[in-house]
Amino acid sequence: MNATDDLIGLAQVCRNLSHMGRCGKPLSPSTLTRWITPGIRLRDGTRLRLQARRVGSKWGVRQSWVDEFLEAQTADRLGGDTSTPALRTPAERQRASDAAAAQLAAMGI
């Protein structure tokens, strides 16, 4: 088995992630190319790049690399916690809203 056996093209990755695009549109291979070349800026100012290999005139990635990239991006955006945030009940939201309103009233706002 050689190093390119499990590489997949960017178009295939876009099809695999078709639900993640804006307004229900599939991701563009250009988006993945940007994730590979300049990468994305993380909250600490560093850059996160999608690992890829050049195969002729095209980029190839492994699904595990895509998964690692998305996990790292999620961890950065959630402050290190990749678990799904807990949803508040309507009563909890109302209590939080009431507490915020009381705090603003105390500040004279």
Q: Pairing state of beta strands 47-48 and 53-55? A: unpaired
Instruction: Confirm if 66 and 52 have CB atoms less than 8 A apart.
Output: no
Query: Which residues have CB under 8 Å from 81's CB, separation 6+?
Result: 75
- Give pLDDT tens digits for 79-95: 865 566 667 788 888 99
pLDDT attached to residue 94: 93
Reading the chain (109 residues) residue by residue, the pLDDT tens digits are 455 569 999 999 998 887 777 777 888 999 999 999 999 999 889 999 999 999 999 999 999 999 999 999 999 988 865 566 667 788 888 999 999 999 999 999 8
Q: What is the pTM of this model?
A: 0.66
Instruction: Confirm if 52 and 65 have CB atoms less than 8 A apart.
Output: yes
Cα 65 to Cα 52: distance, rounded to the nearest angstrom: 8
* Domain spans of the chain, in order of start: 8-107
pLDDT attached to residue 1: 45
Query: Which residues have CB under 8 Å from 7's CB, separation 6+?
Result: 53, 55, 60, 61, 62
The overall average pLDDT reported for the chain is 87
Tell which residue, 77, 74, 78, has the closest CA to residue 66.
74
10-28 burial, b at 16+ Cβ within 10 Å, e below that, comes to: beebbeeeeeeeeeeebbe
Residue the block writes with tokens 């070349």: 37
pLDDT attached to residue 109: 87
pLDDT attached to residue 84: 60
